[in-house]
Amino acid sequence: MAASPAEPPVVARAFGGRILCDAHHPGPASHDGAGGRFVFVPAADATGYAYALDVEPRTRPCPAAIAKALGCGNDSDEALRRWTELEVTAKLTETPVHLLLLAQSRPAENEIQMIRCDTDSHWIAVGMRK
């Protein structure tokens, strides 16, 4: 009898679900630009919600123009925290991120619950929308 593949390790938890670093698991996913694919696996009983996540490596600084547009000056860490949340909002509202970046207000954000799951190696934001 063949052994079943091992479950990838859990990177973090959010909304009762798990964030995995896995190339094949189904679910909302984000690539970190360094070859890693992160996926959010909702809890089995989580129905009626849409989820999204965004992952950025801590080793890559935020481009200065984006940091400035996000109102972060030279603070690359704060810019990447804001960027990951903006990306999640874009995914959950099906709005191109550049339009959200240019918008003065983001009315759909009050419909989205956001959780930070940052690790030593990555900035991670997970959002949930009913």
Least Cα distance to 54 among 24, 80, 35 occurs for 80
**Contact by Cβ (8 Å): 126, 88:** yes
- Model confidence at 108, pLDDT cuts 50, 70, 90, reads low
pLDDT of 29 above 80: yes
Res 35: pLDDT: 87
Query: What one-letter code names the amino acid at 123?
Result: W
Compute and round to an integer the Cα radius of gyration of the chain: 15
Vertex 119 angle, CA 113 and 80, to 5°: 65
- Domain boundary assignment for the chain: 10-129
**Contact by Cβ (8 Å): 93, 130:** no
- Report CA-CA distances (Å) from 53 to 1, 68, 86: 36, 23, 10
Instruction: Write down the pTM of the prediction.
Output: 0.89
